[in-house]
Chain A
Amino acid sequence: MITKRIIPCLDVKDGRVVKGVNFLGLADVSSPVKLAEYYSECGADELVFYDITASSDGRRLFTDILCEVASKIFIPLTVGGGINTIDDFDRVLKCGADKVSVNSGAIKNPSLVSEGAKKYGDQCVVLSADIKRVNGRFTLFAKGGRENTGMDAIEWIKRCCENGAGEVVVNSIDTDGVKGGFDIEMLRAVTDAISVPVIASGGAGGIYDFVKLFKQLPGVDAGLAASIFHFGEVKIADLKAELRKNGIIVR
């Protein structure tokens, strides 16, 4: 049986993981390589790296780090942040990424999804969508959630899937950072609309939020979170044990 995936997400700026990390026993807590190794050993099913650097020096540093991570970690790696052209796909895939996550780059240039899918296959293109309720409507936001595009998020996701997006990360701006649980209503709207794997993001505050997510929405394939893993509030081994206890199949 296919297992539900648990995915820690690492935001990398100037070669370091942002969002303070306080692990016991990890000497260099903001080293992307050390943290990736730690997660891999703990049973993370996949890792997501977001490059949140703006400068070209930072971008080079990021790809160097990516190469180092990919030469040491043998689980799937998804890379996002600053993916605007097919050349950006090439750049990160050559460094050992398996999937490329597009967000604002696809909003600016919607053909990015179809070009990426045509060149590297649907499985390689992950659409990441930042969504917020505006007047009761699921609305697509760009630029890390700062800019309202006015577009209907569900329609956008459907269109991208038709163009070859192989997975969709749904990040609810409404629940992000609140730690009150995933946005079940928003996720249901997405899983009802598309047939590719859906990764839930935004809102996880504890182990029970993942149990609730997979119990209430069997159509969701994976749960993604950052700070609760980085701060050690949720240990992946404990999380998986609890999911197993609740009849949810994990690795």
Chain B
Amino acid sequence: MHKTLSLVLIGLTLCTYGQNTSVQDTLQISSNQRILNNLAGIPRGITLGGYGEVLYNKPENLNAEIDIQRLVLLFGYKFDERVQFVTEIEFEHVKEVYVEQAFVNYNLTSGLNIRAGLMLVPMGIINEFHEPTIFNGVERPSLDKYIIPTTWREIGIGLSGRLNSISARYQAYLFNGFLSHNGESGLLKGSNGLRSGRQKGAESTMSNVNFAGKFDFYGIRGLRLGLSGYHGKTQAVDGQNQIPGSQVGLSMLGLDGRYTLKKFSARGQYTIASLSDSDLYNELTGRDLGSKLMGYYLEAAYNVLPFTNKQRLVGFVRYENYNTHHAVGEFISKNEAFHRKEWTLGFSYHIAPGAVYKMDYQTKSTAIANTTKGQFNMGVGIWF
């Protein structure tokens, strides 16, 4: 607490110092220097921020769960105008601590950055943009849990930047990949695909380099389109990686779109992942990993309050369809319980930019008949 307080004080002092300097200098310098002074921005110093969500989930016929799902504190330090360190420390369910991001961004030119460290894999929308005030629904879309294992982050290095003339953003990274075998058992399985294989930068083992890239285009007014790709191979610990079936090849492709027209907004995402050698892996580990994972969702939303209001009350509906057994190898059969469909209907009440109340009702079913279940959710989310 003391440390946080001192950080806040240091941050404030730095801000104040920066502003005073600017004002004084402005009075006595030439016009060229004056422009220069204007550019100074925040030349160096600490950035503090964070996001969090406290949720209430009530599945049909079961007790409700009330949870501080996540509380994430962001710290940034700017060494100079071009080198910045960004980290996010995450507390999940109060007691689990993770580092969600920790990378150095080196800004080479206005359109080119080099990044290295623990970074988010750019796949789909939510893995990169997951603060609770910028998506509808108390829970994140399930596709972004079971097909894209949000929050998916690994250690890597790569390039990112923007091409302003064609309204595009690009990212290209080399990452460490999923751990498929820890020497005792296989970690990937049918029910949640790749999710349990995330290494999250914690004493992670690396035997294969993976590539991840994303291209975003926002040149059509109100529309943002994204194309993401991931290609590589999973990792297995030393000694294990020589054994056939310990590692699987992985290619993932994602398409996403977000559209806003006045008070109406819509978004959608399609993701498909192909896994090679899943048969060998299942044979070795006794698991039921599918050979293809697929999912999509569509969402439409409407803000019922006038534009001029600071507050927004957004009603939305979302349909999701995802399957972690979209295809399976020769030696296992498809588990229809892994083909899931969800409807979510609810609203997000943005009481201030950065603070939101959420409420929704979900119906969840699988490809097996008569499996529909309902769930009521409420939550409060913040981002600053």
A binds B: no
